[in-house]
């Protein structure tokens, strides 16, 4: 004999289903994060679902008690991902200056979506936090005074980092003029500094290593030969002969 379902049980099940349909997920909390100033955790039914900026919260209409349906959830997810990319870009710039194209490549390599990366880079440029001309000037000054790189090597390094050729040339011209850089004196100073580390070597080895060192820094053959010719005929590697 076939048993019939209990009317009371069937009714109870229908009421439970109706209740679940009538009670969608809702935003139950918006709280500032301790680790990331200016960022807020969005809680839905007590669980964190995203981290947004105040601007994003207002733009998406996220507020306490609002229904958190599929449409809002999707928009929040996109906003959160874009903000994560932007914050990651800021952190990378805080670690060290970068050119816009170099930053873009690094972010994509780390797995950020290209569209979010492009938006983050453009926003940073608009805010003045990312400036290829300023980066190029800083890079040139640091590498001339530190590593003693030549004009040609500086051009190559900046080009490799994605800086446009006209920006590189303008930055080089400005720094060399403002800082009164004498390129002939520069190679002599770089060579003299290197020679101090080669004093324990025989003359032929010291000269060979000095030539290779200067070539790696981008100095052309004629400039290097002028420096080499200034060394004593005996091959003495004393740096004082170049100073």
For the ranges 1-5, 39-43, 92-96, the lowest mean pLDDT is seen at 1-5
In the prediction, which pLDDT does 13 show?
Answer: 52
Task: For residue range 141-164, list pLDDT tens digits in order.
Answer: 999 988 899 999 999 999 999 999
- Between CA 146 and CA 211 the distance in angstroms is 19
Q: How confident is the model at residue 1 (pLDDT cuts 50, 70, 90)?
A: very low
- Give the mean model confidence (pLDDT) for residues 34-60: 95
In the prediction, which pLDDT does 233 show?
Answer: 56
Task: For residue range 107-137, list pLDDT tens digits in order.
Answer: 999 999 999 999 999 999 999 999 999 999 9
Q: Which 3 state secondary structure label does DSSP give 35?
A: coil
In the prediction, which pLDDT does 241 show?
Answer: 54
In the prediction, which pLDDT does 239 show?
Answer: 53
**CB-based contact 79:60 (threshold 8 Å):** yes
Q: Where are the domains of the chain?
A: 27-127, 132-178, 183-242
Long-range contacts of 32-37 (CB under 8 A, 24+ apart): 36/87
Checking if the pLDDT of 12 tops 70, the result is no
Tell me how crowded residue 7 is: count the other CB atoms within 10 A of its CB: 8
- Give the mean model confidence (pLDDT) for residues 35-53: 95
In the prediction, which pLDDT does 5 show?
Answer: 44
* CATH number 1.20.1630.10 is the correct assignment for the domain at 27-127: no
């Amino acid at each position: 004999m076939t048993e019939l379902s209990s009317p009371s049980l069937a009714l109870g099940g229908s009421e439970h289903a109706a209740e679940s349909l009538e009670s969608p997920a809702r935003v139950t909390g918006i709280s500032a994060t301790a680790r990331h100033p200016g960022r807020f955790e969005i809680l839905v039914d007590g669980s964190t679902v995203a981290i947004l900026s105040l601007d994003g919260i207002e733009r998406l209409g996220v507020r306490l008690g609002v229904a958190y349906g599929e449409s809002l959830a999707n928009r929040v997810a996109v906003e959160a991902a874009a903000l994560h990319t932007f914050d990651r870009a800021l952190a990378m710039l805080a670690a060290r200056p970068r050119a816009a194209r170099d930053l873009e490549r690094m972010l994509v390599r780390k797995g950020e979506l290209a569209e979010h990366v492009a938006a983050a880079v453009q926003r940073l440029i608009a805010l003045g936090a990312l400036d290829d001309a300023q980066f190029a000037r800083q890079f040139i000054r640091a590498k001339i005074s530190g590593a003693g790189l030549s004009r040609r090597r500086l051009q190559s390094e900046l080009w490799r980092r994605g800086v446009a050729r006209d920006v590189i040339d303008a930055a080089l011209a400005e720094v060399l003029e403002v800082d009164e850089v004498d390129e002939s004196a520069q190679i002599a100073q770089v060579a003299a500094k290197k020679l101090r580390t080669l004093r324990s070597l025989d003359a032929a080895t010291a000269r060979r290593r000095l030539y290779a060192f200067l070539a790696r820094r981008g100095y052309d053959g004629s400039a290097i030969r002028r420096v080499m010719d200034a060394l004593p005929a005996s091959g003495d590697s004393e740096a004082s002969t170049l100073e």
